[in-house]
Structure 1
């Protein structure tokens, strides 16, 4: 039975308008696939720097719906005659990463994928040791869409003369600080866990289907359908921080609900991670929303957590929160990847436990997936655990890229690690204290 829908539904713009703006086609979502928008003036300054966001894995606008978002990894024309020089033993493969193998943020190893796949299989988790830089664990997969945003992988495509060390929406070589000047570099690959990523592959390829109609989610409340909720983790004050899907984007079918729920909660400051100001105004009916009357910063950052543009946007958003009173609401389009990362950072800053960060992050995926034949089929425990692992991996990886290592020993002091991260990103101790004060 459906849960009781709050009286807020009465505040909504008429149902007919909602249905006209909704899309009846179930949509496959391989993470947030809306196209990055133009940013604020401060973020635009970053674009003048040499480090640009990785556009080799381009995300399509959700308005295209039901589009195939599978992204294959390109190969480059390098000399593939040297693969026999790769040293093999019973436990590892050893390679030399050459200068011409470092391009577009990816690292190409001259070794036939078919030969590699006689030692390892798609769905295995391997340890990749890059001598002098880092040792990473990542799955063997076929495309960047086989892993969540910010995830690393060894791309092994049958018939290819190369293996590719790459990432989803990230330039792995840049993340590790590797340039062509650093070549040649020794690389070794060994087995970490046989078939350890088969569940992840199944989730990324087969479970991420959603719909725009409330009827497809009979067991969700209006808040859950809108992916709207207050953040209740340790250290967070009451009625201080909320998160949601977009209050203005029509084609997810959730905007009217979010706008009404935000008004009922008294939200006064919105952090929009998805849109530029002009793209926000282009949404039909924008000027009639509660949202349009409140404090809003339009950051328009892409879901590229390691990129300079995203990290600068994150800090700009935090400074905007310092300058404006709450309650605050953070959103992107789905309220999934970008929102999930920003909220996780704020939860960590305020002293949340690992379990609290994981539970809140995974809730979003339960609110969207999986719709089969017009009805949601709830995620099982293993699928939920997969998404819980994603947020921890992302936080640790992004912090690690800034030189901050988060130990695996529990309990993890997320607040201390996050203060260090924000300090690395240019926030002063006074600013960090002011941000925490806003959220108490």
Structure 2
């Protein structure tokens, strides 16, 4: 009798799950826009998916005009590995439009998506990504009082790993775009550090001009550097394998070669684009994978209070910067980086983007010497 009831219970559970899947509707939307990173915005609000029974952590089938694929329903790009697909409900906010994206990639160009294309979303697997999504949930505030120092708040730091010189290379959140309420703090810190040359990965000249006119603009040192020709504004995407990214990075590094340090590289948060470029330069100067990982993850300690060495810490590192290092080194997923020649991998990438061996040697020389 007990066995019969157990079998009946399992059958009822199976039927309940099956009925949930069958009841899940297909939601159809239209591509409303593509941003400069290639992320595809739909004319669907996140709340429309939530109201239809979709939940964060579900695996969604995405039917594009020419093909079908599957991606988890998540809230942030960092909820998936570098190079992975996602259906994003930005920040879990129901009033925000649903976004189709590739973490650190260009969804629109890869799949040939244009404005007006019709996309259908349906349930592939209920909750199959939930555990992974939960461990990656990160929260931060934009209130200075919630952080122990200006440096932590602005994600500001000197990078001096491997053969890098002292006081020569820095990274931080944007000292000019005040969207995160950190610009004035970052500006004061780069002035104190004596920054002479800035590579802005995030903005173009038009964006900079608009920031200078904002009522809350308070970054006079950055504006002074820009007016003196010491800032290059690259307006880069995030796909480090794309031609656009590589052409602009080449221009930025050639600008660095023509200028004097100390140097600053930043994007908006100082996390993704600045994180990749910093890792590339650290590898070039002989830093170990562990040193690169620790510098990259310091951003997650600063912004989100992620505990060093925790499961969450290791998961974020594995799916982001370590995945990128393996890609640069031509290694398969989850391969050990202990024996990888990261200097050679960095040199190969820099040659791929168009720098000559002489320029690469000069770049090394620029970053190994201590600041005067």
1:323 aligned residue: 258
2:316 aligned residue: 387
For the 8 Å contact 1:353–1:411, the answer to whether it is kept is no
Q: CA deviation at 1:408?
A: 3.0
1:119 aligned residue: none
CA distance in 1: counterparts of 2:192 and 2:337, whole angstroms: 41
Match among 168, 180, 205 for residue 252 of structure 1: 180
Unaligned runs of 5+ in 2: 1-33, 43-55, 88-99, 113-126
Q: CA deviation at 1:386?
A: 1.9
CA distance in 2: counterparts of 1:393 and 1:316, whole angstroms: 25
With over 3 angstroms needed to count, the CA separation of the structure-2 counterparts of 1:240 and 1:199, relative to structure 1, is farther
CA distance in 1: counterparts of 2:191 and 2:208, whole angstroms: 18
Unaligned runs of 5+ in 1: 1-34, 38-52, 59-69, 78-99, 102-107, 114-139, 156-164, 180-194, 371-376
For the 8 Å contact 1:271–1:330, the answer to whether it is kept is yes
Match among 338, 343, 346 for residue 410 of structure 1: 338
Q: Does 1:396 align with 2:331?
A: no
With over 3 angstroms needed to count, the CA separation of the structure-2 counterparts of 1:416 and 1:254, relative to structure 1, is same
Q: Does 1:299 align with 2:234?
A: yes
Residues 134-166 of structure 1 deviation map (CA, whole Å, 9 limit, x = unaligned): xxxxxx7346847447332598xxxxxxxxx98
TM-score by length of 1: 0.57
Match among 343, 348, 354 for residue 289 of structure 2: 354
Match among 71, 76, 88 for residue 64 of structure 2: 76
1:341 aligned residue: 276
Residues 23-76 of structure 1 deviation map (CA, whole Å, 9 limit, x = unaligned): xxxxxxxxxxxx966xxxxxxxxxxxxxxx634269xxxxxxxxxxx8977413
Q: Quick check: 308-317 or 281-290, which moved more?
A: 281-290
Instruction: Please state whether the residue corresponding to 2:325 is helix, strand or coil.
Output: helix
Q: Does 1:433 align with 2:352?
A: no
For the 8 Å contact 1:150–1:305, the answer to whether it is kept is no
TM-score by length of 2: 0.67
2:220 aligned residue: 289
For the 8 Å contact 2:289–2:337, the answer to whether it is kept is no
Greater fraction helix? 2
Within 5 Å, give how 1:124-203 maps onto structure 2.
Answer: 141-142=72-73, 145=77, 147-148=79-80, 150-153=82-85, 167-171=102-106, 200-203=132-135
With over 3 angstroms needed to count, the CA separation of the structure-2 counterparts of 1:330 and 1:73, relative to structure 1, is farther
Instruction: Please state whether the residue corresponding to 1:209 is helix, strand or coil.
Output: coil
Q: CA RMSD in A?
A: 3.4
CA distance in 2: counterparts of 1:36 and 1:437, whole angstroms: 37
CA distance in 1: counterparts of 2:85 and 2:206, whole angstroms: 36
1:216 aligned residue: 146
With over 3 angstroms needed to count, the CA separation of the structure-2 counterparts of 1:286 and 1:216, relative to structure 1, is closer
CA distance in 1: counterparts of 2:353 and 2:144, whole angstroms: 41
1:13 aligned residue: none
1:419 aligned residue: 347
CA distance in 1: counterparts of 2:85 and 2:361, whole angstroms: 37
Q: CA deviation at 1:328?
A: 0.5
With over 3 angstroms needed to count, the CA separation of the structure-2 counterparts of 1:337 and 1:57, relative to structure 1, is farther
2:38 aligned residue: 54
The structure, 1 or 2, with the larger RCO (C-alpha pairs under 8 Å, 6+ apart) is 1
Q: CA deviation at 1:395?
A: 3.0
CA distance in 2: counterparts of 1:326 and 1:36, whole angstroms: 33
For the 8 Å contact 2:175–2:219, the answer to whether it is kept is no
Instruction: Please state whether the residue corresponding to 1:210 is helix, strand or coil.
Output: coil
Q: CA deviation at 1:369?
A: 1.4
Instruction: Please state whether the residue corresponding to 1:257 is helix, strand or coil.
Output: helix
With over 3 angstroms needed to count, the CA separation of the structure-2 counterparts of 1:261 and 1:225, relative to structure 1, is same
